[in-house]
Structure 1
Amino acid sequence: MSAVVRVGVVGVGIMGADHVERLAGRIAHAELVAVADPDEVRAKELASHHDGVRSTGDALELITSDDVDAVVLASPGFVHEEQVLACLAAGKPVLCEKPLTMDSESSLRIVRADREVEAATGRPLVQVGFMRRFDPEYARLRSVLAGGSLGRTLLLHNVHRNASVPNPDFRSEMIVRDSLVHEVDVARFLFGEEVVSVQVLSPAPTSLAAAGVIDPQVALFTMAGGGIVTNEVFVNSQVGYEVRCEAVAERGSVVIGRPSSGAYSTALAMDGVGQWGGTVPADYRERFATAYDLEVQAWVDSVRAGTSVGPTAWDGYAATAVSTAGMASLASGERVPVDLVDPLTLSQNASSTKEPS
């Protein structure tokens, strides 16, 4: 087990900058050594707040550098394939923020490449940043459902609301690909099975969304075992960041992400802060601060130990495949089946690349 993992962060937007602060100050056995971003001025400014951290405008230079042991990718999804494959070629563990890639085909290429690495070395190198799996409430919910005391899980109801989106180009399709993708992973995580179909419904949009943007959206997932998942995603709710989930099983239900007693309502107060009798979190960094810390710490610990932990490249691919079907449904309004390859064929292909003993 290595004493310290030297980590480089690619992408210094909101999420990347948050990871930089996390790695520099809150993660044990990790040393932040480099940041990379095409905006070299922003990267240099961020690095200057931390002694010994260098900056570069070239993500691939950071990934292949000898002073970097492992990489956090917080770059835009359209560059993830190139950057993740570069990490695999360099033999470096990578924590890749969602989405893994922008489409199923490129995500599948990453799955195959990571399986080949695992076949050759005994461990995969890709972890995908579905941090809700590390959130204490979601982890507890998974434990309760998996324990069997409530019987078979029948339904999930997910709510995912943002106050607003900072990107004026955040279109309807991005709500599916960049926001709903979390609910996809939650459904797979809690049911322990795949999503087999998705239908995205388009209510009358809020007047506060950009012109032409369908917001909110309601998505229905059908699970492999017949369970149903309802999902509301509303990215311009004006109130704050609300994420909650209710699981309905044969002998009871469990709700997370909301106060435990009393009437629950939200409103925009006079000072512009969303309230429920307490303050609604402003954004995902506040709501899931603990989850992010636990996720990155678990990843660093696994890198030190030479093991793997958390959502895999397959989880990233499966979520992308559901999102791909979801975008097709958004366009048609129809129920769309999810097209997934057979994971057994991937395992067989990876096994065939092993050298004979």
Structure 2
Amino acid sequence: MSEPLGVAVLGAGHMGADHVRRLARTAGARVVAVADPDTERAGRAAAGIAGAGVHADALDALHRPDVRAVVVASPDAAHEEALLAAVTRGLPVLCEKPLAPDPRAALRIVEAEARAGRALIQVGFMRRYDAAYRRLKALLDAGDLGRPLMLHCRHRNVSSPPHFTSAMLIGSSVSHEIDAVRWLLGQEITAVTVVRPRPSSGAPAGLLDPQLVLFETDGAALVDVEVFVNCGFGYEVTCEAVCEHGTARVGDESVMVVRSRGGARQDIVQDYLVRFADAYDREVRAWVRAAAAGRLTGPGAWDGYVAAAVADAGVRALDSGRRVAVEPAERP
């Protein structure tokens, strides 16, 4: 029986700590290092995992001889350095979105991977692994409803982190919809328009929340995304496909409705790690199997770059109030 895949997890925040816990129960994987500048936080994430080292510096963790793969869950600005180092070492990577904070950095990562001559980087667009989204993808691919004409999407969070900016509603939150649109439709996004209603009174001062993001695709489909990161009541992600011969909607099946005492109450999940727990499990299991076999089966670095390029166009549309064309670089 082969040795478990030794994984270094870079970043021990909310997402990184969750990855540590998930990897610890994933067959064929073993967490051998957790890196975070806050070594106390890294130590808490690694607690109870035999042999897991704690590092303040991510690059130190990558140079351990028992590291055979990497999960990048550090802040966005730290992704490029870690990814370039992992590619240099030939290490498979699961990188949480975004691939990099801007398309220029993302393209540098794609080019480095191309020079290495091997696909190594998977981006954490976990909706591709969600059971409901996979059913919708299969339905659209089968063509029974005819050609997709529109997608209606909602992306709502209870509240935004203190550091969240208006641009991050697109670059961080809507990046999931950007990838989902490309994957579900098999089409590229060609232009972005952002419409800004009056900000919610629940949004922090200066945050343009909510926003309505409109995508056009090269297959003549239209997509609208309501992103509202301070809705106050729960975490909701839905997607409705409007096709020539019918519609299909996913995202409502994760709630529970309780009827009692002459009324009804509907529970709404409060966190993305709860709503997409199964998708994260599927994603990590598939990545571990592929990495151990020297393959890449999920969304790659180019998908991360395209998401960054579309998000960049979206931020420019937000700032200008105009429709902005998406003009990606040529793929290496």
Superposition TM-score, scaled by structure 2 size: 0.95
Aligned to 2:260: none
**Mapping 1:30-179, distance limit 5 Å:** 30-117=29-116, 119=117, 123-165=118-160, 167-179=161-173
CA apart distance, 1:225: 1.1
Letter paired with 2:182: R
Matched, 1:233 2:249: no
Q: Distance in 2 between matches of 1:255 and 1:246?
A: 4
SS in 2 for 1:307: coil
Matched, 1:218 2:222: no
CA apart distance, 1:3: 3.8
Q: Distance in 1 between matches of 2:101 and 2:327?
A: 15
Aligned to 1:334: 322
Matched, 1:13 2:1: no
Q: Distance in 1 between matches of 2:2 and 2:174?
A: 37
Note the alpha carbon deviations across 1:264-292, whole angstroms, 9 max, x for none: 9xxxxxxxxxxx83311111000000000
**Mapping 1:261-340, distance limit 5 Å:** 277-340=265-328
Q: Distance in 2 between matches of 1:169 and 1:307?
A: 36
Supply the RMSD in Å over aligned alpha carbons: 1.7
Preserved CA contact (<8 Å) 2:254 2:275: no
Q: Distance in 2 between matches of 1:46 and 1:312?
A: 27
Q: 1:250 aligns with which of 240, 244, 250?
A: 244
Letter paired with 2:22: R
CA apart distance, 1:52: 1.9
CA apart distance, 1:147: 1.0
Deviation >3 Å, runs of 4+: none
Q: Distance in 1 between matches of 2:318 and 2:208?
A: 9
Q: Distance in 2 between matches of 1:160 and 1:34?
A: 33
Note the alpha carbon deviations across 1:85-109, whole angstroms, 9 max, x for none: 1000011000000000011111111
Preserved CA contact (<8 Å) 1:5 1:29: yes
Instruction: Compare 248-257 and 316-325 and name the one that shifted more.
Output: 248-257
SS in 1 for 2:215: strand
Preserved CA contact (<8 Å) 1:163 1:240: yes
Letter paired with 1:233: V
Q: Distance in 1 between matches of 2:248 and 2:80?
A: 37
Q: Distance in 2 between matches of 1:188 and 1:38?
A: 35
Letter paired with 1:153: P
Report sequence identity in percent: 50
Aligned to 1:180: 174
Aligned to 1:267: none
Q: May I ask how many residue pairs the two structures share in their alignment?
A: 326
SS in 2 for 1:127: strand
Letter paired with 1:306: G
CA apart distance, 1:6: 0.6
Preserved CA contact (<8 Å) 1:71 1:93: yes
Instruction: Compare 321-330 and 40-49 and name the one that shifted more.
Output: 40-49
SS in 2 for 1:253: strand
CA apart distance, 1:307: 1.1
SS in 2 for 1:46: helix
